[in-house]
Structure 1
Amino acid sequence: MNISQIMEKMIAFSNGNLHAMNHLMCVWTYAKTIGELEGLDRKTQETLEIAAITHDIACPLCREKYGNTNGKRQEEEGAPLVRSFLADAGLSAEQVDRVAYLVSHHHTYTDIDGIDYQILIEADYIVNASESGYSPENRKNFLEEHMKTESGKRLLRSTFCMET
C-alpha cells in the first residue's frame, strides 16, 4: 500500500468520525511538511507519515473500553492495533515495528529516539493546540521545552502568530 491507500483505510477505520478524520489529516500534513523541510530520507519520511496517519488508532477502543481517550491509554492500546491495521500494507517488519513504536509513544515527550518521533510529537502538538485552544503560555513552554526541529518551531510560531 502507498500513503494514500493507508490514509483511505484509516479514514474508513474512523467510521464517520469527522473530528478524527480531520485530526489525522492535519497531523499528517504538519508531519509531512516538517519532515520534508527537515530533509528526511525517503524511508524515514514514509514511516513518519504512516505513524502520523495512524497515531490515534486506539481512540475508538479507548472511548469504548475506558470512556475517554487518555494519552497513556492510547499508547498502551495502540501498538497491537496498528500492527494489525498494517499487516497487509506490504511494509517491512522493521517499518511496522517503528510505526508501532511511534504510535505507542506519541504522548511521551522524554527519551525521544529519532527525528521521526520528534516530528510526530511536534505535529500532533500543533494540531492539538489548535483544536483545544491551548494557552499562549502552554504553547511558549512547549516551544522552549520540547520543540527541536527548526521547521516545527517556525510552523508553531506561524500558526499561532508567536513572536520569535
Structure 2
Amino acid sequence: MTVAATETLQTGDTQEVVTTFASYGSTWAIYIALVILMVAIIWYAIRKWHFVVKWFITSVILAGALTPGHPVDYAETYSPLVLNSVVLLFDGDSAGFLAGVKTIIWVFLTIFVVGLGAWFGFKFWRKKQAQNGNKPADQNATAKSSEKKMATPVEPTLGDDSSDKTDKA
C-alpha cells in the first residue's frame, strides 16, 4: 500500500505504511552498497594486518549489518536484524533479543569459517603449484624481473679528462 504524503490515514492503516514503502528495494540496495563501502574503507585502513584479523573484523561487520530479520511478526518486509534486536531489548523482550543475537552469531561463524577455508585453500593451492614447478603468474613476473642482468651504472666524475684522451688514441 503506497500512500501519498498529503493523504490522511486511518489508525488501522498506519502499521502497513510503516512496514512497507515504495522505495524498499532501492533502500536495501543503497544500504548494502554503503556497508560494502564501509568494509572496503576499514579493510584499506588495516591492510597491513594479518588476514585472519582483517577477516574477523569484516565478518563481524557483514554479519551484524547484513543479516535480515522481520521488524515485527506480521511484517512482510525485512530490516537489519541487529536493529530489530536492539529495539526488542529496549522494549524489554530479552528472549527476542537473545534469539536475534544467536542468529547473528551463527551467520558470523558461517562467514568467518567459509572465508578462512577459502584463504587456506588458496594458500595450499599456491604452495602446491610452487612445489610442482608451476609458479602462478604473479610469481613468474617477479622471477623474470629478478633474473634479468642489468648493466652496472657508472657515475661520471668531474674533471676526469683521462677517458677523453684514451678514447682519442
TM-score for the superposition, normalised by structure 1? 0.26
Which structure has the larger Rg over C-alpha atoms?
Answer: 2
TM-score for the superposition, normalised by structure 2? 0.26
Bigger RCO (CA 8 Å, 6+ sep): 1
